[in-house]
Structure 1
Amino acid sequence: MPLLNPREVLPFPAGNNATDTIISGHHLNLTALGEWNYTLYSNGTLSNDTRCLLTFEPWTPTYLFPNGTFLNATWCWSPVESIAVRGGVAIAFAVLFGLAIVLILVNLNKHGSLHLPVTKRFYPIGRRWQWYWGLWVCATAAVSLLTSIDVDRYYLPELPVILTSFFWYLMQWGAMAVVWEAVRHWGSWMERQFIDPDPFALRQDDRRARVELYLPLLFYLFLWLNFFMIIPRNWTPIQHQRYPEQTLSDAAPAATDSRFKAAAFLLLVSWIVILLSLRHSIKHYCPRNRGFLNRAIGLVRYTPARFKLLIPLAAVVVAFQALVAFRFEYSPLRVGGNLAAIFAGGYLPSLLILYVQIAFGFLNPNEDLELKRQRRVRNQEYDREMGVVHKPSWWRRVNGEVLDPNASMRERLAANARELHGAKPRPADGGFGPVVPDDAAGPVEMTPVSPPPPAVSRPYTGRSERLHQDRTVDMAASLAFSEAAAAREAAADRARHHQELMQDAPPPPAYSEAVRTRQTDVARTRSGQSEGGVSTDQPPMRVRSMLDV
């Protein structure tokens, strides 16, 4: 892109007459140009401080109407140049960030899947945040790189340089969040492994828990302050790089002001919080060392290899943001700046952070599956200490302890009850095969109980045709509904028993009759009869059975 000084005003070339000028072989109305205050500059533009048009082939206007409208005109802020080095390298980086999106989604599916019940102490989103921030970095980096293609293609800088700078800062913002979430979640994962054998090994209201609560708030506080120092601002001066004088007077001061410097300092504080979180996790969940030197050695020793790469890369992100806040020539905000510094210090650290995360994401197992493996190993150690020897997997099938998959729940419960009393089911063929259910097994209890004899309906030998039909229906129903028949037989037995008791004496009077009798006795007592409620002129009551007493 030419960086000529447009303030070098050129006179309009002479035309066929006093009201005509020829620009790049096209005749334009000189009177209309003067009326609309157009000026011809040495960088090949025609401008009146409101509109700017290109005047060189093949973008030269072909005709000018008296109202100031040009025919076939091209704005100065158009992508008329070919893709330069900055655009070509940006395309390569954009492809790498796009590939990272696919790999991050694979890791998100792997590490975000649940294989154990969710607990309130460890939410599933905690392990996914680092991958969500990775997607954020990929998206913002792709937008910044693709828009930087037009930074070199525009004849005069305009919107593309603002967009690429805006999303570049958002990309760095997300790269720091990726490193933080990776370190924070590693501490959470260490805590989860620490308390899995004993949930009460660590308290949730001690100093350790309070530090783990406040560290994320502290990190995101400074990260958001970095965001508000950079993003909400007037970005228009950044595009004023159309000639060297304008770059020095407008763009450079705007790109290196005090807000950018303060934002770099806030990002440094966020990086220090990451170190504090790592030190806190190693202190509480790794073997402790005594002495300053031993603690320093232990800090390096117990730091995972992933963080030995991520934390220095995050430091490069912070250092480069501080560098461009003081030196404008190395900044991605600079049109035609140092491309080696822009891509090596501006985009490469964030890209490496993502690919380090992706590589270790493929190497590390899912946390739920790893926790289940640790539980199996721990149980095996417990069994070995107690001398418990488990039979091999084929033992159950050889001894007939594998239930038929088609067996009912009653049959499975009966088999479990028999196994408790030492009576294990055997396969019918004496070897492999499904277990033959015992049809004579009674109800499942803790002790064996003999099954009750089946209820048998007694035949009716009387003369009543209706009772004979009822007994026939009962016998038919007992064959289809054994339980209903048993209940009906029990009711019939109770009725027969009641009838036998009533053979020696009549049934007791009803409630209303007993009340009337009591009222009559009271009236007779008041009229001079005996106090017991029985008339003296009646014969004494003769007791015939115990029901009359």
Structure 2
Amino acid sequence: MSPPGTLYTDYNQTVLDLFDYVIYPGNGTVSNVSNCYLSFGSYHPEIYADGTVENNVSCDSPYYGIASRGGIGIAFGALSILMLPFSMNNLHRLGKMHVKREHKRFRLISRRWQWYWVFVIHALSAVAGFLSIDIDRDYIQGTSLTSYGAVFTSIFPCCLGAVWEMTRHWGSFEERQSYEDDPYGFRDDKLRTNYFLLAPIFVYLFGFLFFLLTVLRNWTNVIRVNSDFIVDSRWKVGIFLGVVCFILIITHVFVIRHYWHPKRLPWRIPLCFLGVAVMLSYSIALSFDGSLSPFNPSSSVVAVSVWGYIPVLYLLFVMNITANFQKNDDKVILEQRAVREQERMRVALETVVVHDDDDAGEPTVLDEEKTLDGSSPLAYSATYDFDGKPRPSQKRTYTNAEIKAFARANAKRSNNTDEPS
């Protein structure tokens, strides 16, 4: 890269040697191990005998205008911000508690963790998008590229976390529905208990190692645009651990289906799996091809956009759209409780026996054709009087308390009948 202006070399060589400054005619900079300044055209840094520098402009200063990478980065960051209110609304709607108290096995925080991870993805996407602006503008890559690399790479482990929490909560809700239906139907199963205890530990362990090896690293090597960085063993091991984490999440789906027998698999889960699979495939590909790497300033902008940005936006979009078709867990549980209560009342009323009064000769039976919705009152009729003559049916509306009392009385009578005489 040749300097876009006339190279400035009017320096005191003794001062340069004293502070280890070197003039690089190839790119028009003067630098030592710690500092780098532009030295061409109108950029004339003054280096004094005591080491101070005036009129200095850092080598990683934004010299050029915004280009295609910066424009797409702005769009990426803006779209992630625009979807943030939808995620906040879904957290409020799906994470709100509608029961009097939460069960210790099914905490309220369980359904919220997915959206907490989504908020982190929103923030990282916005920061990465706007950091990419200076990758185009910087004369020589510096802190903008290193910061962008660390932030952008952090998005992938967070996506794994969001998808895991979404999948795990789906299984937890299926367990909760089974528990509500029959709380005594759970047999002691050490294998099941140990799996659901250890599964999140292993998922987060491999996810953290993925983050540790790919994000928490020396990003100053990126400045050199060295292909050795792209294919180094540390990055490859990190991606491998990310793939293991993803496999554990997929395995969790089959375990849920084995234990809780859900009627169907929600569409949001395979759709989100597709987005994560694309992200991991891109991470593997850029390990071997530097032209695809988002950390290479001269890489293909189309590749970075299609394989790097779009899957993240796709994941946010799918989670928010599918959430609009979800009901709050508590509301679903309350509806199921109401249905079970009506079914129990219906079964009880089919067998309840009611006497007209203490002196009645023949028992009267609740009319089974009537309903409990109030449109038609429950009725009983005594078919014959004491003389054996038919008499007109008598009708009466029963309250819920009376109906429950009838059910308890009938259950007590049935128990007494079953006892040996």
Fold conserved (TM > 0.5)?
A: yes
Structure 1, unaligned stretches of length 5 or more? 7-22, 241-246, 288-300, 396-418, 421-549
Does the aligned pair in 2 maintain the 1:79–1:150 contact within 8 Å? yes
Aligned counterparts of 2:74 and 2:55: Cα–Cα separation in 1: 31
Counterpart selection for 2:84 from 101, 105, 108? 101
Does structure 1 residue 115 correspond to structure 2 residue 77? no
Question: CA 1:357/1:25 → structure 2, altered by over 3 Å: closer, same or farther?
Answer: closer
Q: Residues 254-306 of structure 1, C-alpha deviation per residue, up to 9 Å, x if partnerless? A: 2321011111111111111111110111122227xxxxxxxxxxxxx932211
**Would the alpha carbon gap of residues 109 and 393 (structure 1) be closer, same or farther in structure 2, given more than 3 Å must change?**
farther
Question: Are 1:349 and 2:333 an aligned pair?
Answer: no
2:228 counterpart of 1:253 = yes
Give the counterpart of 1:231 among 201, 209, 215. Answer: 215
Q: Distance in 1 between matches of 2:176 and 2:40?
A: 69
Q: Which residue of 2 aligns with 1:297?
A: none
SS at match of 1:219: helix
Distance 1:277 1:49, change over 3 A: closer
Matches within 5 A, 1:160-239: 160-203=144-187, 205-239=189-223
Normalised TM-score (structure 2):
0.77
Matched, 1:282 2:257: yes
Q: Kindly indicate whether the alpha-carbon contact (under 8 Å) linking 1:133 and 1:178 is maintained by their aligned counterparts in 2.
A: yes
- 1:188/1:46 CA distance change after superposition, 3 Å: same
SS of residue matched to 1:326: coil
Give the C-alpha shift of residue 373 in structure 1. 1.3
Match among 386, 390, 397 for residue 372 of structure 2: 390
1:305 matches 2:249 = no
Q: Which residue identity does 2:230 align to in structure 1? A: A
For 1:220-278, what per-residue CA distance to the aligned partner results, in whole angstroms no more than 9, with x for missing partners? Answer: 121112122223322221112xxxxxx3xxx2212321011111111111111111110
Rounded to whole Å, the distance in 2 between the matches of 1:189 and 1:270 is: 22
Displacement of 1:393 after TM fit?
8.5
Q: Is the 8 A contact 1:39 1:48 kept in 2?
A: no
CA distance in 2, matches of 1:25, 1:215: 61
Matched residues in 2 for 1:142 and 1:309: separation? 23
**1:29-49, CA deviations, whole angstroms, 9 ceiling, x for partnerless residues?**
666776665525132334455
Rg: which structure is higher?
1
Output the CA distance in 1 between the equivalents of 2:213 and 2:161. Answer: 17
Q: Note if 1:54 corresponds to 2:29.
A: no
Question: Any conservation in 2 of the 1:27–1:62 contact (CA below 8 Å)?
Answer: no
Q: Please, what TM-score do these two structures have when normalized by structure 1? A: 0.60
Give secondary structure in 1 for the equivalent of 2:287: helix
- Which residue is 1:85 aligned to? 68
Q: Which amino acid aligns with 1:330?
A: L
- More contact order relative to length (CA 8 Å, sep ≥ 6): 2
Residue of structure 2 aligned with 1:153, choices 137, 140, 149: 137
**In 1, Cα distance between equivalents of 2:8 and 2:152:** 43
Partner of 1:76: 59
Q: Choose the corresponding residue for 1:262, options 214, 229, 237.
A: 237
The equivalent of 1:331 in structure 2 is 293
Structure 1 counterpart of 2:135, which letter? V
Q: 1:342-381, aligned counterparts within 5 Å?
A: 342-381=304-343
Instruction: Report the CA distance between 1:86 and its aligned residue.
Output: 0.6
Cα pair 2:149 2:219 within 8 Å, conserved = no
Other-structure match for 1:271: 246
What is the rounded CA distance, in whole Å, between the counterparts of 1:282 and 1:31 in structure 2? 75
Cα displacement (A) at 1:152:
1.3
* Distance change >3 Å, CA 99–CA 49, structure 1 → 2: same
Quote the offset at 1:65 in angstroms.
Answer: 5.7
Moved more, 226-235 or 68-77: 68-77
Measure, in 1, the Cα distance between the counterparts of 2:157 and 2:233: 18
Counterpart-to-counterpart distance in 2, 1:308 and 1:256: 30
Deviation at 1:70, TM superposition (A): 5.4
Mapped contact 2:23–2:31 kept (Cα < 8 A): yes
Q: Which secondary structure state, in structure 1, belongs to the residue aligned with residue 63 of structure 2?
A: coil
Letter in 1 for 2:197: L
Aligned partner of 2:406 in structure 1 is none
Give the unaligned 5+ runs of structure 2.
Answer: 351-367, 378-400, 403-421
Q: Which amino acid aligns with 1:98?
A: I
Between the aligned residues of both structures, percent identity stands at 31
Task: Indicate yes or no: 2:32 matched with 1:44.
Answer: no
Q: How many residues align?
A: 355
Letter in 1 for 2:261: C
Counterpart code for 1:267: G
Deviations 1:367-413 (A, max 9, x none): 10111112222333333443473252899xxxxxxxxxxxxxxxxxx
Seen in structure 2, the aligned counterparts of structure 1 residues 351 and 174 have a Cα distance that, compared at 3 Å, is same
Change (3 A) 1:238 1:384: same
1:388-537 to 2 correspondence within 5 Å? Answer: 389-390=371-372, 392=374
1:31–1:270 distance in 2 versus 1, CA, 3 Å:
closer
Q: RMSD of the TM alignment (CA)? A: 2.8
1:234–1:38 Cα change, 3 Å:
closer
Cα distance in 2 for partners of 1:25, 1:367 equals 68
Cα deviation, 1:300-354, whole Å, max 9, x if unaligned, reads x932211121111111121111112222221111112111111211222122111
CA distance, structure 2, for counterparts of residue 105 and residue 177 of structure 1: 18
Q: Deviations over 1:113-142 (max 9, x none)?
A: 101121111011111110011111111222
